[in-house]
Every structure is written in structure tokens, then in C-alpha cells.
A and B are shown apart, each in its own frame.
Chain A
Amino acid sequence: MKKLLLMLFALLCIGFLTAKVDLNTATLNELMQLPITEAQARDIYEYRLFVHRFESIFDLRDISSIDQRTMNSLKPLVVVSLVTETDEIAARREEIRDLLERMDSNEGASEGMADVWEDYLMTPQNVNRMHFDDLISLPNVSAIDAVAVLRRVARGDTIADTRDLRNSLGLSYYGYSNLRNYVYYRESPVRNKLMVDAQLQYYTRFFEEGQYDMLHESFVPKTYGNSWVSIPHDKRISYWGYYNLDQIDPDMMIKLRMRYGNNYKFGLMNYSAKAHQGWQDMNTKEFIEGSKYYAGYENTNLPILDNTSLKLYLGHYRATYGEGLVMENTDFYSARKTGFGFSKRIMGITPDLSRTTEYALKGAAIEIANPKFGASFFVSQDDKDALAYVNRDGSYVMRDRFGNDVFTDENGQYFIQNNTRFYTYEDGSLVQGDKRKLFTYINPTLAYDNERLIEGEQWFNSVLNPTPAPGQSYEAFAMPYINLANRTDAMREKLWGTHLQVSPIIGTKLGFTSYTALYDNAHLVVPDYNSLIPTLIRDSYYYTKLQKTMNAEISNLYSTQTDTYSRDYRRVLGFDAGVVLGNTSVQGEYAELTVDGEDHKLGDDPKAYLMSAHTQFENLYFLTLFRNYDVNFDNPYSSSFSEHERYDDTIIEKNIYALTNPSISDLYQNGNQSQPERGVYFETRYKFNNYFTIGRSYLDIWERLTDGRRSARFQSELEFRPLYQLGMRLRYKNQVNRYDDLAERGVSKTNEYTMAIRTFLSNRDFLELEYRYNTVLSPPYTSLTNPAEPGNNSMAGAMTLMTGDYIGVNYTHNFSRSLKLQGSFIYWFGHGISHWDWEDMEIDFMGEKGAKAWIAISSRISNNMYMNLKFRNKTFQDKELRIRQNNDPNHSDLADQLTYFDRVEHSENTIRLSLDYRF
């Protein structure tokens, strides 16, 4: 009886409700039946349509045409039904929204990895079926965390929910709090559906300071043959002036990713970097050739092989194994890449739409893995840019199979040896120059096509060194013609490789990785040291000054033709291993590049190895890492831990003005390899309690193997948060170079003190003030000292103390969940010290002194669409000096007069627009 009464009551209520107008479902006509004007009805309808659905009747007051009286009169006539989001993709996106935004803001640092993580955020993986490599590839999940999860699953236990995951023995809080966003337990929150992510980015980006200096370097030395010459004042004798690089087209990136769940994936990305042909000027063929793309299939549970996953990719992909010594292909160098915390690696094969172009892999890759065994195979064929030896007309210098440079005479016949021409070999066969003579891979700042590059070089050569008429000599300011130059797609690289892995016990693995890169149209040739000097350095005046041992990094680059062998490939192989013991994981990798030794014999060739141990407690971890990279271990596909990148401090970085072609400096400016180092690194983080945390702190002691320079670097950070709304951070950094020999010119001591105060206001707004003070103690002009030979004045005459500081304020204001404004103002004084600043989603380096302000607006247009617009002004002085008085200090009239120098001031405006559409 009671039930019957209840049902009757419920029916009565429904009857009442149906008689009323539901503000969340009523049509416009139904709303017009209410005792309000047509305009008011339309306002209510549009409010629901364009603002949000009604959560209560009081929302009516947000509509400007509805006053209190009208609302009161409507109250008895309307109801508001509960409406929930039914689109599970939109619901999932809302759930992970903060993480997505954080991921987007780190995109600049992670270069494409964010895409992979974003996919797993949207369509999580079943935690009960994941493999070791799947788990450790997620951000902030360590090998110890992975083992904690896998051991539970191996016991037959099923992790049922987030709380259950938290209870996994050995899983750290950090591991858990990151892992939970990437996994599901019983049923995926998102069913397999087509998902699309389209991105457009438009960026009037400036050149970095080093690139700016490189491109401004003149092709004509002030001195030639030890005599001063008069240089024509013509801005076109540098790349900057010739190509008018102030007025270069902006960077433009369009990216489209599509996938059906986590099974079928497609992607396309076109990025027109500086000096690239824009997509609007390309035909379809050029657009495809200039784009990155992939099609892939992934299955984490193959039908026949239990708990076995498959990945298959065609197009562009990334391959990463072990500690990145044999294979981790990227164009971008990252210092102190430990593989832990925020500098993670995503293991195995992953699709690649990053901005990596030079070391991109294009072809096919397959990966099969189960908990005990894993194997992947990959092949790639792509044309790579290279630093090439070029003839006066811009063509490639050709080589024969015996290691001779081959020339062409007036009749088009090949010959060797320029002075006495030989058209045939000793056996009578004709001379054959069948391969290009190249120096090494290069990732050029200016991505002009070869025709445009040759046009520029010919200008440099012809204007300054005109071909003399018969019987006449070269003009006074003649210089050797450009003998090394960037060439686009110069080297056809066919690459194949494999990775095999066994994991007999959970957390223990042993892997083998190898790849071979075949160059069938080119020889890589790095001459002996004495021949290399005039190849790289334009003027004999600098020969002795710049012959530093650390330039062995250049002379030890890999050659396919040497005095002892001639081949057409590069082969690297190595082993990696890892084991988890209690709360400690130990991992390492050994790699070897085949040079003079046997291909598959270990220990007889240049090698690199790295070993690390990571111990983890709830609020504390320790990381210890040892690495050793031989000087002649030249593997362009490695990306492993180091303090500095290859060529740091060499003539390629420091003495651009002395190079035969300034753009050789691109080897450093856009380099990706680690510098040959041997050293040990310690890192820790400890959270005492809610008030005090020692942030990521490290000590690195290492030796640069080219010149034996020993350095130590220490950084520590203390965070104090006395109130939830207030945080303070103190950071100290100290680096000493050449601590083993304080009398040497390479000594420098750097101290950096930073203090930041951040106030957390309401609604996630915050205000931060930061001050940094630096000192650098070093001898002046370290790069121009004489070599350390008897009789040379190579001792430091004095030490210079330089000081610099930096003050900045950052503010973030959230108008609503849909609109965020970020802004920053910074003033810095570098005085020879370089500062860095992490902006909203990119890092900026600042030298000398200046001021910078930027403002970025993030607009969430809808659940699916985001717009980010940023404007930045940076006004600074650089290290160039301009001469005020009459612009000619050498003129005889000014011989006795004082010449004034001013710093050159620059002002840069940049705009970045990015649009992101996901559905």
C-alpha cells in the first residue's frame, strides 16, 4: 500500500513537472508561450544555447533582459532539469583538462612526446595489462613504481580502482599520482572512437643569439695573408645581409592527428621553418615531401598471443632504447637528460610529428612485446642535409673508391690530382668520381634549397674574389673560396636497426640494440688534424691560436673513408640492462661505433657507456649516474645524459669569425649530440613536510675528454611554503671549470643566487617575483689565448669578476575557466653572463642587458577548441660594439683621436598564434 501511494505521488510530481516548461529542453516556441516578451524568450533560448545550460532557476538573473520581478513571475511556471554531459570524449577531456594544458605548455621541451602522452591521457591503458616499458615511459613513473604494479598483477591480483592502485606496495605517491591519469582498471572511460586533433601555429620567431651572430659574420676577413685590407662596406657579404633575414617569413606549422581509439593512428605535420618554402607556395608533391606523416596500428592484446602487444608504423616514427646511447633520434639537445622525473624517454617505437627533421626516421617499424620478450625492427630511407665539400661553382666535390678527390676538366672528363692530371688509374680503367664528399650531418638554421644556397655562395665568392681575367692576379682582398657549405638532402641514408629484449624476472631486462646507416651516394670524410685546420679556419693568422685540443671533437668525427678502411656505412651496436632491487633500480647501456675494429666485436672500437642507480622513498629519492663517452664515439642518433653538447667551447661555437664559412657553426647551433665526457652525477629531492622541500638538487663532477678539463656543478633549491597562499624558493648554483688547474686560462667560477616569492591568489591566479644574482670569475678572452707551449704567454694575467642580475615579475589571471591571461616583465643585466627564462611554453636565453615583456592569452573557445595568442617585446643590447665617431677608426685623420664605442641595441617583437581543435 505504501509503495502504491509513493508511486501515485511520483506520478503526480511528474504530472506537475510536465505541465511546467523545462528551461533546459524547451523549444523557442515553448518559451514564447511563457508570459514574457518574444525578445526575453529568445534571450533565454540563446543563453542556454551559447552560454550554458541552466543549473538553477536563479541563472535567469544572469540574462540582462530578465529582472527580479520577471524571474519571480516565471518561478512557478518553469523547472530546470538536470542535464549531464553525455559525450564521453568531452567528459574525459574535461577530466584531464589541467594535465592537457600543462602538457601543451611543456611541448617546447618535450618535442613531440606530449602527443604520445596526450593520446594515453585521452584513451588510457588497462593498468592490469601494461608492460614494464609502457609504465616507465609515462611521466614521473619510475622503474620501482612499475615493478610495484607489475608484481601485484603477476600475483593474479586485479587492480580494481584508483584507491586500490594507491594501495600497491612499493608504489610511490608521485608514481601513483601521475600513473592514475593514464590508466583505467575495468572499463575504459572512452570507447574506441575516431578522435581528431588539428593544430595551427603561426610564429614570427626570431633567431637565437648564437645563430644571429653566425649569420652576421662577414665572409671577408679584415686581415688576409697578414696584411690589412680594405673591405667594401656591403651588407650582402654576410648571410644576414644577403638574404635579408630581418624580413624572413614566419614559422608556420599545421598538424593533424587522427586515431581510432589506441588502435589506428594517422598523422600529418607540415612545418615551414626559417627560409623554408611556405606551404602556400608548394604543390601537392612538395607539400608531402616537406611534411612528416605516419599511419600506424597498435594492439595491446593480440588475439592469439596472450598479453602480447604489437605496434606497426609506416612513415615517420621515433625509436628509443636503453639510455639513448645507440638510438634515440631527435634534432634537439637536452642537457642532463637522466631519463627520470621530467626528462623521460618513451621507450620503443612511437609515431613522430615533432619538429625533428634531420634525424627523423622515415620508413617502417614494427614492435612486438610481451612481459618476457620484446623485439622491434625498423627501416628508414631519407635524404639528409650535410656539410659538404664544394667546388667553386657550388657543386659537390666528388670522391672515388680509393679516397681521391675527383675533378672534372673543361671537357667533362674526370681526373684526380690537380697539378698533374691522371685520367686513368694504374690498371688503365677510367677515373670514376661516384660519390659526394661530405663532412658530416648538419641541421641548418637556414633551410633554403641548394639552388638558393649556391646563389648566395657564388655571390660571396664572386664579389670578393672575382675570377681574374687571363694574365691578371686576384684582387688584394682575395680569400679562399668557400670550401664547406650546407647542402640540403645531400646524403641518401638507408638505415635499418633492431632491438631485442628479454625480461626473465619482473623489473629485470637485458636488451640488444643495433643500427646500420648506409650512405650509397656519399663518403663522409674528415681529414687529419693538419689538413682540417685550413679546411675550417679561413686565415692562417688564427691557425696556432685556435689549435686547441678540444677541437679533437671535430677531427674525431666519423669517416667512412680513412687511411685504414673504406666503407659506405656507419654501424652502432650496444647492450642495455636494468634491474630493480627493493626500492632501487639500476640500469645502464654500453654502445660501440664500428671504426677500425670488427663490426660485431666489442671493446675494439670507440665506445660510450652509462650506468645509473635510482633509489626511491616516499618523500626522497637519490639518483647516481656515471657516464663515459669516447671522443671518437660519433653517433648522431644518440641522445644521452651530458652537461654540454658536442662542440661546446670549440672554434665552431666560440670563434665563428675564424671559420671559412660561418654557417659551419650550425654544427653547434643546432647540434643534438652529447659532448665527450666522463663524470659522475648525483641528484636528490626531499620533501621534509608540507612547509619545506629541497627541490631537485644535484652535483655533477666531470671531465671533458678532449682536453681533460675538469668541472664541477652544484645546484640546490629550497622551497618554503608557510601558508597555502604563499611560497618562497631559494636556489643556488655553482659551477667551477678547470678546477684541477687554477693557473690555466680555462678556469671559471660561476655563482648564481635566485630568490622567488609566489603568492597564490584566488581562482588559481598568482603573482611571482623573482630576483637572481650571478657572479663569474674568469680570465678575460679565454678563447684567444696562445697555446700552452714553451715561450708562449699562456698564463692568466688577471681574473675578471663579472656580475649580473635579473629581476622579473610574472602574473597569471584567470578571468574564468575559459579565459586566462599570463604576463611577465623582466629586466636583466648580464655583463657576459647568459640568463634564461621559461616563458609560457618556451625557453628564452638572454645575454648582455635588456628588458622583456610578454603577454599571452589562452582562450578556450569551446570544449574542443583552444586559441593561444602571445605577444612579446624584447629590447636588449648585444655584445657587438658600434663605433660612433665617423664609423671609420682606421682612417689616418683619426689616428690620434679617441674613438667611442656604443653597444648595439635591438628591439624585437614576436607574435605567436596557435589554434588547437580536438574532437
Chain B
Amino acid sequence: MLSNKSMIILIFVLLASALSAFSITDTYFGNRYGSMDARAFAMGSSGVYNDFRVAGISENPANLTLLKQFVGLQLNTVVNRAEDTRMVPLYNSFDNYIDDAVYASNINAYVNYAGAGFVAKRMGNMGFGLGAYHRPYTSFDGKYREEVRNNRNTDNDGYPEKIAQNDIENSGNLYKTGMVVSAAYALSDYVDLNLGFDYALMAADISQETSIKWSQWSQDQVGEDVVLPEYSKIADWELSGAQMKIGTALRIGTRLGIAATYTPKATLDITGTDFTYREAYRNTPMDSTLVVLDGEHDLPSELRIGFSYFPRNITRTVFNMDLEMVNYNDVMDAFDPVYNIYAGVEHHISHRMPLRLGFQAVNSYFYDSEPGTDDEGNSITLINTRKVLTPMITAGSAVDLGKNFTLDLGFGYAFRDYEALDLFGDAYYNDKIYTGSNSYELWPTSYINLQNRGWDNPDKVKENYITLNAGLSFGW
């Protein structure tokens, strides 16, 4: 039990950790959140069988009647610090591709909240429960800033001049607000079958803004008469729809529980606009294009199975492991189903102070499209898909703040490497286009070849995430 002062400090920490951020690359599917239960999160988000915490009902509706309480409530906050580092291919004097040189690095942070509650009633061998939750499902948040500079002065440890600033600001989360019903049938003590159903409304308000702004130095360099065109692209859209999930959990004796969930494919409606604007410049008119977005956004079907094992162990241990199949093929033929692993363990080191450790390996899909031609010369759209693996290690603990009142803390570190096309093609910064001159005004040497890099020399992206998940849970 903690003192009042300690509790105040903990709650303050909980609220002050209001920071979170995600990858700017996952612009279609968004970045999937892990478990919203801080305990399960610390165990590698393995919690399809979760008979400890209320927030587990959003992972598997059948977890509701597994819970040992009759009424429960949990509040969670998730904090995410994301580091995005972009690099260009680097060649040595033999013209070998040897590695990659960093040209932009961004660190941002975001926060989000979730909550879940339930009531349950036992009647003889039967049990029934009703619950509700609200949680973020995927995040579209992301910030990116890249400064375009020439390379003057770098050999003398000076700062090169700044030519332009590129920004991306994305915001929005797809939230899921669900109702859960569950029923249990007890075959004997410690043997019961639970079936649950989850129906959730999903909604998101997403904004993605991309801009290129020239620096005052550039404008001074080319002169007041020359227009260096500013560029912006603003997409605003809303997603709305519903998702269902069915789940089952079977407690088999005192040592083992197994569970499975199935989430059918869901289709959300898209409504919004995509506006692109580029200033007019030398002999080239302004580009101002508004596209009305009206379509569908598919969420793939998912099948997840897992177990929880409670051996007799001096450190009171629970081991969870889940295997998940996400059928991205539902969304596009070019995608294959992916398999994700979640595993975690909880040990109580001294008395009831737990140490939780976990691991998860989650695959996601990126895709790009580019115009191309088929064998007969017809114009087609080429789709380039990339499956990207994000491994994460997790750890966490919990503090009993009072009777039936627990604070769980989960910490995760994840990283991933992948290739992506340059976000802002270099050709745009070729000032000869804007000045009409045969020589550069913004670049110090004449041989620089400003052209857009394709897949022959894509960006290498390294991302890492540090996530803190904190949850307060009450149960009676």
C-alpha cells in the first residue's frame, strides 16, 4: 500500500506522460496499438486469454466472464516516443554501396487513453457479463521535419545554408468504442467455457498535411523577382464504420487456459478532401487541385489463438503466448497473410511485486504505387508492397495502491528497418527550373545532379519506439 504522497506522485506521472508519436510511413493502415492493458502490454501484448484485467475484454470478449470480479473498471494511458531516421545510400571510392548516411532524424511523442468497464453475474454454473470499452485502434499521428541544405562549409565544420524546409504533420486516431457480452458455463471448479461477442463502432478524423517552404536565404539568393514555389498538400478525411469480434476462452483446470478470437474483415467509409496547391512560377501556372475522397477503407480479418499457463513456481508465474494471423489479403491481392507472435511471462519477485517481461513480433504492410507500362505498352499502376517486421521487447510491473486498486506499468522498446522512397524528391530544389539560368544559385557546385531517387537508391528508414503504458484498474 502506498502513502497518499506516493499516490499523488504516481498519478501525476500517469498524467504527465501525455506524449506519444508514430511512424509517418503507415499512412494507409495506420500504426496498430498493442494491448491497452498495461499488464498484458508488459507481457508482450500476449493476452487473448486474460483473466486478470478489465481492459482484456477489448482483446477477447470472452475474457469478460473469465475475470474473477463482478464489477471492474480500468483506465489506461499509452505514451509513445518515436524516432525516425532517414538515410541515403552511401558509396565508397570503389563505387560500392557500403552503407547509408543519415540526412534527417525526427523524434516526437504522443499520448492516448483508453478505458474499459464491466459487470458480471454468476448464476449457478452459468455466468453472464456485460462490458464496454473505448480505445484507440490505430494511430495516424506523425510529424516529420527535414531541412534541405547545400553542402557549403561542411568541410570547415561550418553550417551549410538552409534552402528549404519540408514538413509533414499528420494527426488522427481510429478509435474503437465497443460493447461486449459474454457468457460462461462452469463444468467444474477451474474448468469453464466462455463465449463472447464484441460489436464496436469505429471512427477517425484524420488530417495529413505536407508542405515545402523555401528559406529567406534562398529567396535572397535568387532575387525578389524569381518565384520559388511553395507547395502544400492537405488531406482531411473521416473514417466511420463498425467491427465485430467473437471470442472464446476455455479454462482447463488450474494450470492452463486457452483462447481464440476471430475478427471478420471490416469496411469503413471514407469521406473527405485532398487538396494540393503549388504556386505558379516561371512559365508554369499554379497547380490547385481538389479531390473529393469518397471510398472504403478495409480492415483485414484476424484470427488469434493463445494460451495462458500457471505453473507452480516459487515466483508465482504466469506465461502467456499468442499467435495471430492477420489476413491482409482481404485488403489487396498483393498482400499475403502475416503471422505475429506475442509471448510474455510474469514473475512475482518478492511478495506480490511482479516483474513482467515479454516479446512481440508484428508484421505490417506498406505499399506504394507508381505509373508503369505492361508488356504491350499500356499504362498500368505498379504496386510495390513491403512487409515490415517490428520486433518489440517489453517489461513492466505493478503496484497495489489499495484494496482492489492497482497501477500497472508497461514499458516497450521496438525497432524496425525498411526502405522507402524519398519523401521529397530532390528535383524540386533545382533552382535552374525557377530562375531559367544555366547555373545554380542555391548550390555551390555545378555538378550536383538534382533528380528524384527511385528504387535504385531509396531511403533507408530506421525507426524505434519507446512506449510506456500505464493503467489503473479497480475491481470488486
Contacts and interface: CB of A to CB of B under 8 A. Distances in A.
Interface of A: 28, 49-53, 62, 64, 202, 204, 216-218, 220, 222, 231-238, 240-241, 244, 246-247, 249-250, 280-281, 657, 815-819, 857, 859-865, 867, 869, 871, 880-889, 891, 893, 898, 900, 904, 906, 909, 911, 913, 915
Contact of A867 (B93, B339, B345): B345
Nearest to B351: A64
Interface stretch (B11-19, B20-28, B235-243, B386-394): B386-394
Contacts of A233: 89, 91, 95, 97, 457
Contacts of B413: 871
Closest 8 interchain pairs by CB? Answer: A862-B311, A231-B95, A235-B97, A234-B456, A218-B96, A880-B98, A861-B319, A235-B89
A99 B393 CA distance: 28
B141 to A, nearest CB: 24
B391 A911 contact: yes
Given A220-B95, A886-B445, A911-B359, 4 more contacts: A50-B317, A202-B341, A202-B361, A882-B92
A216 B96 contact: yes
A657 B96 CA distance: 10
Nearest to A887: B91
B316 interface: yes
Contacts of B95: 218, 220, 222, 231, 233
B357 interface: yes
Interface residues of B, number: 60
A244 B445 CA distance: 32
B332 interface: no
Interface string B387-413: 011010100000000000000000001
10 contacts: A49-B312, A218-B94, A218-B96, A241-B89, A247-B388, A815-B315, A816-B315, A886-B151, A904-B99, A909-B464
B101 A234 contact: no
Contacts of A883: 92-93
Nearest to B337: A280
B447 A235 contact: no
B419 A250 contact: no
B311 A869 contact: no
A235 B339 contact: no
A50 B351 contact: no
Contacts of A893: 445-447
A867 B316 contact: no
Nearest to B454: A234
B476 to A, nearest CB: 12
A860 B348 CA distance: 13
Nearest to A864: B311
A863 B357 contact: no
Given A220-B95, A859-B357, A886-B151, A818 B313 contact: yes
A815 B346 CA distance: 13
Contacts of B388: 247
B93 A881 contact: yes
B317 A861 contact: yes
Contacts of B231: none
A28 B190 CA distance: 12
B189 A909 contact: no
B90 A815 contact: no
Contacts of A240: 97
A863 B314 CA distance: 11
A280 B89 contact: no
Interface string B365-393: 00000000000000000000010110101
B251 interface: no
Contact of B456 (A235, A871, A909): A235
A861 B309 contact: yes
A228 B256 CA distance: 69
Contact of A906 (B99, B189, B359): B99
A844 to B, nearest CB: 19
A28 B189 contact: yes
A255 to B, nearest CB: 16
B310 interface: yes
A47 to B, nearest CB: 8
B460 A246 contact: yes
B361 A869 contact: no
The CB with the most chain A CB atoms within 10 A, among B313, B319, B351, B393, is that of B313
The CB with the most chain B CB atoms within 10 A, among A49, A247, A871, A883, is that of A247
Given A867-B343, A911-B393, A915-B343, A882 B457 contact: no
B341 A861 contact: no
Contact of A865 (B91, B311, B336, B460): B311
A235 B457 contact: yes
Interface string B327-349: 00000000010010101010111
B393 A815 contact: no
A217 B97 CA distance: 8
B359 A869 contact: yes
B309 A865 contact: yes
Contacts of B418: 247
Contacts of A885: 154-155
A891 B355 contact: no
Contacts of B391: 204, 250, 911
B287 interface: no
A859 B345 contact: yes
B52 interface: no
A216 B386 CA distance: 22
A231 B313 CA distance: 63
Contacts of B314: 51-52, 816-818
Contact of B351 (A62, A881, A900): A62
A412 B148 CA distance: 57
Interface string B293-316: 000000000000000011111111
B447 A50 contact: no
A893 B89 CA distance: 23
A819 B341 CA distance: 22
A890 to B, nearest CB: 8
Nearest to A913: B359
Given A217-B96, A909-B415, A862 B313 contact: yes
Contacts of B94: 218, 222, 657
Contacts of B151: 886
Nearest to A885: B155
Given A240-B97, A246-B460, A886-B151, A818 B393 contact: no
Contacts of B386: 247
Contact of A891 (B92, B313, B447): B447
B69 to A, nearest CB: 12
Contacts of B432: none
A50 B412 CA distance: 27
The CB with the most chain B CB atoms within 10 A, among A49, A235, A909, is that of A235
Given A249-B389, A250-B361, A816-B315, A904 B417 contact: no
B282 interface: no
Nearest to B94: A222
A871 B395 CA distance: 12
Contact of B349 (A220, A815, A906): A815
B66 to A, nearest CB: 15
A49 to B, nearest CB: 5
B361 to A, nearest CB: 7
A204 B92 CA distance: 27
The CB with the most chain B CB atoms within 10 A, among A220, A819, A888, is that of A819
The CB with the most chain A CB atoms within 10 A, among B95, B155, B339, B357, is that of B95
A385 to B, nearest CB: 26
A51 B447 contact: no
A707 to B, nearest CB: 27
B122 interface: no
The CB with the most chain B CB atoms within 10 A, among A234, A244, A861, A881, is that of A861
Contacts of A216: 96-98
A661 to B, nearest CB: 15
A190 to B, nearest CB: 21
A880 B99 contact: yes
B165 interface: no
Contact of A819 (B312, B349, B352): B349
